[in-house]
């Protein structure tokens, strides 16, 4: 049963990840990201990491992807960009080089680790209690890292406000602003 759950969740994560990269429509790509995040949450549950699975669903799939969809819908997806025109010269070859270097780094880490360290066996010390882990994590986040936590929340709020301001344009009637609409909505062009 564990193998079946792993194979189904792993396949879902891979299909979702490919959908994020290969989809032309940004809304479909964001929904593929949701599939990936839910599949990874299932893999966390299979490893008995219930807290990580809950955080994966609540924070990433529930908040971050909704923020992505909100910004995509706010900015509009009515225009398509010409992928043949490269705005930054050399960006694609640099991305290929960095990607290959990342793959080489992962392979080197696996080879250097050897078989002694990567066994896949359960810990001989026994499982840690989830209550202790959550308490330690909460104490750490809300004491040592509270400033970084608050700065991150402020940064996300500023990003949403910035997206709203970028999506608005001055109206022809005066100082008021109105949201951009896709071409053809309400008979306008």
Q: How far is CA 72 from CA 18, 80, 126, 152, 186, in A?
A: 19, 13, 46, 21, 21
pLDDT in tens, 136-173: 778 888 888 888 888 888 888 888 787 777 766 665 55
Whether residue 68 is predicted with pLDDT greater than 60 in this model: the reply is yes
What is the pLDDT confidence band of residue 10, given thresholds at 50, 70 and 90?
very high
In this prediction the pTM is: 0.50
Location of structure tokens 């193998």: 3
Cα–Cα distance measured from residue 159 to residue 47, given in angstroms and rounded to the nearest whole number: 35
Q: Which stretch of 26-30, 138-142, 154-158, 175-179 has the lowest confidence by average pLDDT?
A: 175-179
Answer whether 141's CB lies under 8 Å from 149's CB: yes
Average pLDDT rounded to a whole number, residues 55-78: 77
């Amino acid at each position: 049963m564990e193998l079946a759950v792993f194979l189904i969740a792993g396949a879902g994560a891979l299909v979702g990840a490919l959908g994020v990269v290969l989809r032309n429509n940004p809304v479909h790509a964001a929904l593929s990201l949701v599939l990936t995040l839910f599949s990874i949450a299932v893999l966390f549950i299979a490893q008995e990491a219930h807290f990580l699975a809950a955080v994966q669903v609540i924070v990433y799939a529930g908040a971050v992807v909704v923020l992505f969809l909100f910004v995509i819908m706010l900015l509009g997806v009515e225009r398509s960009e010409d992928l043949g025109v490269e705005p930054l010269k050399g960006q694609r070859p640099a991305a290929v080089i960095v990607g290959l270097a990342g793959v080489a780094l992962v392979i080197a880490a696996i080879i250097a680790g050897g078989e002694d360290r990567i066994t896949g066996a359960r810990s001989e010390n026994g499982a840690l209690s989830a209550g202790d882990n959550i308490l330690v994590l909460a104490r750490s986040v809300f004491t040592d890292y509270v400033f970084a936590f608050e700065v991150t929340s402020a940064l996300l709020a500023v990003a949403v406000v910035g997206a709203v301001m970028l999506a608005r344009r001055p109206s022809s009637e005066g100082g008021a602003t109105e949201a951009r609409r896709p071409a053809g909505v309400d008979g306008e062009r």
